Amino acid sequence: MRDGMRKGDLAFFYHSNCDVTGIVGIAEIASAAYPDHTAFDPKDHHFDPKSNPANPSWMMVDVKFKRKLRRIITLAELHQHAKELDGFALIRRGNRLSVLPVSQSHWDHILKLE
């Protein structure tokens, strides 16, 4: 996030903790990355005592809603397109990333599935 996201970039919005996981929408990155202030607050659920304000471990960006997809593109469906999505981190076995890069060719292919 710190090095890869830029204001104006587009991103997929993905539901991951629900009955049907998948891509549900598109958002726009509305700010440059900045330190996640919750990591420094001992009263916050996301407090990280190892995070240093001078060199923060956790970053965040602001996002802006662009649009909902016409339908959910499920994780199961994305796996069915493994050949076209070769190298796409979301379908890599054991992936636990919350934020991951999407190449232009993967982006285009996923939107064709819509």
Domain boundaries of the chain, sorted by first residue: 10-113
pLDDT score of 93? 85
Question: In this model, does residue 5 exceed pLDDT 90?
Answer: no
List of residues 6+ apart from 9 with CB closer than 8 A: 28, 29
- d(Cα 27, Cα 35) in Å, to the nearest integer? 20
Rounded average pLDDT over 47-73: 95
**Closest to 98 measured CA to CA, from 68, 40, 59, 50:** 59
Interval 26-45 mean pLDDT: 95
**pLDDT of the residue at 106:** 97
Cα 104 to the center of its chain, rounded Å: 15
Per-residue pLDDT averaged across 1-23, rounded?
A: 89
Q: Which two tokens stand for residue 23?
A: 């891509």
Mean pLDDT of 109-113: 97
CA angle 57, 58, 61 (to 5 degrees): 145
Question: How much is the pTM?
Answer: 0.86
**Percentage of residues in the chain having pLDDT higher than 70:** 98
Report pLDDT for 1. 65
> CB atoms < 10 A from the CB of 104, how many?
7
Return the bridge partners of 74, or none: 22
96 has pLDDT over 90: no
- pLDDT (average), residues 10-18: 93
